[in-house]
């Protein structure tokens, strides 16, 4: 009888193609993954992968095993989700994934409130633009700027994020305020030319005109820092830029279609107490008229560039 736990190593190598990548996805080293694959092949008496210069490729035996292994994985995950959903303790780990900008500018300044109320719940925040599979427990809650389409998830619209073109006061002092039709000599820091930013880049291509692109990045936080430092004009979330001292919005007309922030959680997990606590926290942050960035007006709670803006008061309100 082979070790059932070796199935996850088989699936990881089959999906990733190399021991190193499979190990990274499992949080283990490549040597451990290779040893477990070898153990599984010996127990089954069949070679499951051809070792090639380009990586591990499933053999005929491996292809026959694949759907059965995926079935084992689905059953194991179903048990995990079912039992996790019954957990009513306000303690344990919750894995939240979001884009870097959402995490650093919209959520992190307010996390002290969550910790004060739920000290036994630990949050792991993963910043990535890549899709994660909630059914495979790659995360418990996902915040995304495009609507998630996975099966068995509950999706909720949290807020709209309007974008505008901003420059630093120092940039304007050196180069002047840009004018529509007169962008020659002005510098822009733009999004990376990748699919996640396709909508914004299409709009920018129509408006930058004679301006010079001096930086591209897939990190919105990096673009904001570069703009604040005076490198150039950037397309930034208005919720953040309007509350950041030293940035001013340019009078260039128009803006791209606002982004929508979507929240996704697996249907089987939403009843767990620790998950509900995080969902309630996010709801308070992003519901207008409540506690978070969607509710702030003139004094930025967490968006100013000084440390004091994000520090809790001496007697925090629960």
Q: How confident is the model at residue 293 (pLDDT cuts 50, 70, 90)?
A: low
Local structure of 276: helix, strand or coil = helix
Distance of CA 148 to the CA centre of its chain: 12
Answer yes or no: is 1 within a domain.
no
**pLDDT greater than 50 at residue 297:** no
Question: What DSSP state is assigned to residue 308?
Answer: G
Shared domain for 178 and 234, answered yes or no, is yes
List of residues 6+ apart from 299 with CB closer than 8 A: none
Q: What are phi and psi of 302, to 5 degrees?
A: 110, -5
33, 62, 85 - which closes a domain: 85
249, 274, 291 - which closes a domain: 249
Q: What are phi and psi of 190, to 5 degrees?
A: -120, 170
Q: How confident is the model at residue 83 (pLDDT cuts 50, 70, 90)?
A: low
Shared domain for 228 and 274, answered yes or no, is no
Answer yes or no: is 315 within a domain.
no
Shared domain for 200 and 241, answered yes or no, is yes
Hey, what long-range contacts does 250-255 have (CB within 8 A, 24 or more apart)? 250/164, 250/165, 250/166, 250/167, 250/177, 250/178, 251/177, 251/178, 251/179, 251/180, 252/165, 252/178, 252/179, 252/180, 252/207, 253/180, 254/203, 254/207, 255/162, 255/163, 255/164, 255/165, 255/203
For residue range 112-166, list pLDDT tens digits in order: 999 999 999 999 999 887 778 887 778 899 998 888 887 778 999 998 999 999 9
Domains held by the chain: number: 3
The better pLDDT of the pair 132, 203 is held by 203
Answer yes or no: is 33 within a domain.
yes
Shared domain for 99 and 231, answered yes or no, is no
85, 117, 137 - which closes a domain: 85
Shared domain for 172 and 239, answered yes or no, is yes
Q: Which domain holds residue 236?
A: 163-249
Q: 165 - beta bridge partners?
A: 235
- Give the side-chain half-sphere CA count within 13 A for 287: 9
**pLDDT greater than 70 at residue 288:** no
Model-level pTM greater than 0.85? no
Shared domain for 38 and 56, answered yes or no, is yes
Check: CB of residue 49 under 8 Å from CB of residue 13. Answer: yes
**pLDDT greater than 50 at residue 298:** no
Answer yes or no: is 185 within a domain.
yes
């Amino acid at each position: 009888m082979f070790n059932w736990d070796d199935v996850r190593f088989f699936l990881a190598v089959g999906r990733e193609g190399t021991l190193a990548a499979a190990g990274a996805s499992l949080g283990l080293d490549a040597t451990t993954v290779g040893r477990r694959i070898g153990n599984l092949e010996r127990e089954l008496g069949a070679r499951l992968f051809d070792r090639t210069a380009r990586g591990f490729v499933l053999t005929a035996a491996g292809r026959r095993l694949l759907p059965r292994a995926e079935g084992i994985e689905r059953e194991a995950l179903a048990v995990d989700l079912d039992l996790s959903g019954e957990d009513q303790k306000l303690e344990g780990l919750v894995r939240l994934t979001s884009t870097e900008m959402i995490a650093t500018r919209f959520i992190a300044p307010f996390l002290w409130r969550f910790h004060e109320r739920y000290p036994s719940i630990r949050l792991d925040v993963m910043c990535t633009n890549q899709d994660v599979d909630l059914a495979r427990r790659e995360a418990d809650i996902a915040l995304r700027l495009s609507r998630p389409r996975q099966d068995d998830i509950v999706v909720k619209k949290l807020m709209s994020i309007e974008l505008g073109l901003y420059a630093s006061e120092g940039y304007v002092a050196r180069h002047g305020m840009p004018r529509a039709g007169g962008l020659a000599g002005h510098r822009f820091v733009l999004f990376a030319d990748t699919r996640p930013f396709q909508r914004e880049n299409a709009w920018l291509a129509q408006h930058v005109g004679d301006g010079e692109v001096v930086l591209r990045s897939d990190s919105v936080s990096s673009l904001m820092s570069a703009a604040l430092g005076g490198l150039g004009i950037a397309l930034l979330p208005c919720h953040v830029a309007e509350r950041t001292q030293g940035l001013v919005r340019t009078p260039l007309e128009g803006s791209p279609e606002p982004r929508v922030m979507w929240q996704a959680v697996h249907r089987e997990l939403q009843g767990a107490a620790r998950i509900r606590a995080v969902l309630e926290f996010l709801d308070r942050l992003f519901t207008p008229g409540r506690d978070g960035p969607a509710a702030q007006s003139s004094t930025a709670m967490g968006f100013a560039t000084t440390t004091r803006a994000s520090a809790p008061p001496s007697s925090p309100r629960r």
